[in-house]
Amino acid sequence: MEAIILAGGFGTRLKDVVSNVPKPMAPINNIPFLKYILDYVYKNGVNRVILAVGYKHDIITNYFGNKYKGMDLIYSIEDKPLFTGGAIKKALNVCKNKNVLVVNGDTYLDVRLEDMMKFHDINNGDITVAIKHMENFNRYGTVELSNIKIIQFNEKQQRESGFINGGIYILNKSLFNNIRENKFSFEKDIMEKLILDLNILGFITKGYFIDIGIPSDYYKAQNDFKYYTEK
């Protein structure tokens, strides 16, 4: 399997606690968060990673180089921010497989990627989204399902419970063939706008999830990963 990791974030909401590094390089117990993600995809059978980088990308390239635990690391470098859709489109130029994993560089979701890929194939998905049930939250939008198909994306608001987008996707490379724009949102301009035209599936996981995008959850990650052991 090959995976695109979106690692170009500025970390604006973390600037008071982490500065001068791309958000995925924010240290969790003195280890860059991106290293945890690379360990995770390696453990799940990924052998080729395209790192979509932008802001201070040299920090990432200098730290990881071109190999990690035998995985090839290829860098798709943005000269200016392209948003999630543009970053994925650019990175797809060096992808070899028909179906590609996409992983957000500032979230960690423990989902079995091989099972998710099989689910995507068996159900002829255009896009498959890893989703997780959460309770009492306001940071995330929710998704609504009809059987396994996502039929609606809802905006962020306080909710007692619901399924959230966990930041891991499988998508068919061909989806981007006819998109001329180079700067756009994958979530808004592809998934939400084309929801009636595409077969967008929800793959439910009960695995551990964290998003380090705000200080409180960044500090929570320090504790959650305290006893992390490299596999």
Q: Which of 34, 18, 21 is nearest to 104 (CA)?
A: 34
**Between the CA of residue 105 and those of 74, 110, 158, 177, 199, what are the distances in Å?**
15, 14, 25, 24, 25
Residue 168 structure tokens: 């891991």
Domain that holds residue 104: 2-224
**Between the CA of residue 31 and those of 27, 107, 222, what are the distances in Å?**
5, 15, 10
What is the count of structural domains for the chain? 1
Asked whether residue 62 is domain-assigned, the answer is: yes
Number of H helices, E strands in the chain: 5, 14
Asked whether residue 114 is domain-assigned, the answer is: yes
Asked whether residue 230 is domain-assigned, the answer is: no
Question: Which CATH number covers residue 97?
Answer: 3.90.550.10
CA separation for the pair 64, 196 (Å, rounded): 40
User: pLDDT digits over 2-47, tens only?
Assistant: 999 999 877 676 777 777 888 899 999 999 999 999 999 999 999 9
User: Which pLDDT does position 230 carry in this prediction?
Assistant: 61
User: pLDDT digits over 124-143, tens only?
Assistant: 999 999 999 999 988 899 99
User: Which pLDDT does position 229 carry in this prediction?
Assistant: 59
Asked whether residue 231 is domain-assigned, the answer is: no
Asked whether residue 191 is domain-assigned, the answer is: yes
Asked whether residue 217 is domain-assigned, the answer is: yes
> Where residue 201 falls among pLDDT bands split at 50, 70, 90?
very high
Q: What letter does residue 185 receive in the DSSP assignment?
A: -
Q: What is the mean pLDDT of the chain?
A: 92
CB 209 within 8 A of CB 108: yes
Asked whether residue 117 is domain-assigned, the answer is: yes
Asked whether residue 98 is domain-assigned, the answer is: yes
pTM: 0.94
